[in-house]
Amino acid sequence: MHGITSVGTFVPRYRLANDLIGESWRAEARPGSRSIANFDEDAFTMAVAAAERCLAVGPEAVDAVYYASTSAPYREKAMAPMLATVCDLRPGVATGDFGGSLRGATTALGLALDAVELGRRKDVLVAAADLRVPRPGAELELALGDAAGALTVGADPIAAVDSFWTRSDDFLHLWRRDGDAYVDHADTRFARQHGYLRNVVEGVAAALQEVGAEASGFAKVVLDAPDPSSARAAAKALGLTADQLVDLHHGELGHTGTAGVLLGLQGALEAVVPGDRIAIVSYGDGLDVVLLTATEKIADWAPARTLSSQLGDRRELDSFTRYCEFRGIVGAGEQTEGVFSSTALLHRTQKQDVRLYGGCCANCGQIHYPIVRVCGACHSEGPFEELKLARSGDVFTLSKERYFPTPDPPLVVSVVDLEGGGRIVLQTTDCDAASFDIGTPVELVYRRYHEGQGFHNYYWKCRPVEV
């Protein structure tokens, strides 16, 4: 029996109220908000966060990594190998990237299931994330949100996959051409009637008929939709009740792209008991319908971070202008001209700076970061054992810099004492600088630093632990 063995999700801390968007354009806005990735986050760093949460309660090792996104930071550069490296997986893992379609997460899930069932892979990590930028003032500005999700596929699952049904449809609904900065869309009503509803209603009915199931037999249904009204229309046509539908939090987060069905999957798994059936409906250039059954293992499973805790841990953006600065639509942002970077240096320091390894002195046991040749405690020349550092700790001391250019001033730099030993100097993100102080518990997060030498430069930062 194969299926889903773990799930993890990541919701950015910032929210942008629809009212602020409406005020900026002197237009009415429906109630609610959007989840907004910080200026140093992108569709890769969010995937890293979701993957680490998934692996924290998942298998000890995976032998394949799949990454899905319509907004990956690189147009030509595979992201799955980067994800495997940051998660400190062995170099020999198989990798694959899936882009272009909003159902990329379920496409990757289907291929992961095939690989596991054929015996080619034992445990596969699938991560999906999106940060889609709508055109300022356009209808989509009230609809799109940022998030990430991840799952692992293997034997002895918490949710066994009973059926995987798919159909393709060349329907132009949402798109972004090569070189476009913003997502565009077709007429909403036309897209709903001839694209979304036709695919979902006909497709789900056909998928259920193929296995002899009824919609009423499912405890939870994750119904992906570009907006809440489309979801309601599809649910009504399929005869689904409010209790069956998993809340995808469109009103608070917006539509979160490829990550949406994974957020819904975690919400469903948090609510079911052994024997309950779950349906996942993923829409985008066609349809994927995945039917699952919760196993006895679901009773012992708990996510590293619940959805409710992530929804409760939020900071409100105080202006639409700040959002525009986060996205580089206005303002200079961080000045990266002349910033040094080197692909050779990135390669040589990968284990230390990407996988985050330090050195432990064999003579006195002192842990150092960066890795050193002479121990700062006993002054011996080693030998030093490389060891993986913890990704949490407490602030030993800090400084607040108001002159360094940043879209989210002030720049807070923290000296962090890591759990298990080691001390590291890091920029701090996602924090209220006024209340951030010595002794604050923090977690390490992988973030975007600058664009030196024409490529994305990433490194670790710290942020206050979620409440």
pLDDT over 60 at 149, yes or no: yes
Average pLDDT, the chain: 95
β-partners of residue 435 are: none
Look at the chain and count its residues.
Answer: 467
- Contact between 89 and 354 under an 8 Å Cβ cutoff? The reply is no
pLDDT, one tens digit per residue, over 297-346 is 999 999 999 999 999 999 999 999 999 999 999 875 555 556 788 999 99
pLDDT number for residue 29? 84
pLDDT number for residue 184? 94
Q: Which residue has the higher pLDDT, 120 or 331?
A: 120
What is the pLDDT confidence band of residue 466, given thresholds at 50, 70 and 90?
confident
pLDDT, one tens digit per residue, over 15-70 is 999 999 999 898 888 899 999 999 999 999 999 999 999 999 999 899 999 999 99
**Long-range contact pairs involving 380-389 (C-beta distance under 8 Å, separation at least 24):** 384/359, 384/360, 385/359, 385/360, 386/351, 386/357, 386/358, 386/359, 386/360, 387/357, 387/358, 387/359, 387/360, 388/88, 388/355, 388/356, 388/357, 389/356, 389/357, 389/358, 389/418, 389/420, 389/422, 389/424
Q: How many whole angstroms separate alpha carbon 150 and alpha carbon 111?
A: 15
Which tokens is 438 given? 């010595």
- Contact between 47 and 343 under an 8 Å Cβ cutoff? The reply is no
Q: How many whole angstroms separate alpha carbon 148 and alpha carbon 202?
A: 28
CATH architecture of 2-326: 3-Layer(aba) Sandwich (3.40)
pLDDT number for residue 339? 78
What is the average pLDDT across 194-198?
95
pTM: 0.96
Catalogue the E-assigned strands of 379-428. 384-388, 392-401, 411-418, 423-428
Phi, psi (rounded to 5 degrees) for 68: -125, 135
pLDDT number for residue 467? 54
What is the average pLDDT across 148-157?
97
Q: Enumerate the domain spans of the chain.
A: 2-326, 343-356+391-464
Half-sphere exposure of 58 (CA within 13 A, CB side): 28
Fold for 343-356+391-464, please state it.
OB fold (Dihydrolipoamide Acetyltransferase, E2P) (2.40.50)
Sheet strand arrangement including 64-69: 94-99, 64-69, 124-130, 147-155, 2-10, 159-168, 286-294, 277-283, 220-223
Q: Please check whether the two domains, 2-326 and 343-356+391-464, share a CATH topology.
A: no
